Amino acid sequence: MASSMIGRVYADPGDRLSGRFDPPRPCQVLIPWGPGGGPRNVAVRYLDDGSEAVIPFQRRLRRLPDA
């Protein structure tokens, strides 16, 4: 299941620690990992500037709105 999310694009609204992004930044999942095969953290690449980060999946990433 986690491997099916590799390459998917999500919106990252940020958080209180790193700061909020307005509008949310689009990012692509590079590598998911976590106990039991489910994603807890993900390595992402931000599409706007190409930077990479490791962030918590469940609390941070949101599906992009349908166009």
Give me the tens of pLDDT residue by residue for the chain, a chain 67 residues long. Answer: 466 789 999 999 988 887 898 899 999 999 988 776 666 889 999 999 999 999 888 788 898 877 5
Give the pLDDT of residue 18.
79
How many residues are present in the chain? 67
C-alpha torsion angle, residues 45, 24, 42, 27 (rounded to 10): -30
> According to the model, what pLDDT value does residue 45 have?
97
